[in-house]
A = this chain, B = another copy of it.
Amino acid sequence: MEKLQQRVKEDGVVIDGGILKVDSFLNHQIDPELMYEVGETIYNKYKDEGITKVLTIEASGIAPAIMTALKFKVPCLFAKKSVPSTLTEEVYHTDIHSYTKNKTSHVVVSKRFLSENDRVVIIDDFLANGEAALGLYNLVQQAGATCVGVGIVVEKSFQSGKQRLLDAGLDVTSLCEIAALDNGKVTLVGEGEL
């Protein structure tokens, strides 16, 4: 997705430890038209697959996921990192570790909203080690549902996440693939090649 790739190159900031800061358009301040185009692109990839639900995790996954769900005209379900007082029934749950935050979250979705009849697209803002996407896939499997594909806004292709998802048999659609974050510079996959 060219507009997204340009935006990552222009507005992404590389900070210490190979962390990419994209908080001007993705995970603090959000560009809604860019997110709409993200949703459209994921929709075009999986539109003939009978998708019934879009699954993500709070909070930064919600914007791209709701736009994807809008295009599919299906519900968007977001996994919660804490169990709210209003969630009084049975849940599917798993643990997801964030290396960036150095924190493990116990995430849940209500059993009411995911069933064996569901055909799910998983959406997340980042793919690095694959922890979040694999955790969401675990929830899909617990429900006996089918994961048709995983849509990622920004993939750090130099980390292990993509391969781990492929090894799990998942179809992965990444809209911006980052080859390296060296010397304060974002290099995209394929960039600079002849």
Contacts and interface: CB of A to CB of B under 8 A. Distances in A.
Interface of A: 15, 19, 21, 23-25, 28-33, 35-36, 58-59, 62-63, 66-67, 69-70, 73-78, 80, 84-88, 100-101, 109-110, 112-113
A87 B33 contact: no
Top 5 A-B residue pairs of the complex, sorted by shortest distance between their CB atoms:
A58-B59, A32-B70, A59-B59, A32-B69, A21-B86
A36 B70 contact: yes
B63 A76 contact: yes
Contact of A32 (B75, B85, B86): B75
A36 B67 CA distance: 9
Q: Specify how many copies of this chain sit in the oligomer.
A: 2
A19 B75 contact: no
A101 B87 CA distance: 12
A32 B66 contact: yes
Q: Which of A24, A30, A58, A73 has the most CB of B within 10 A?
A: A30
Nearest to A80: B28
B109 A35 contact: no
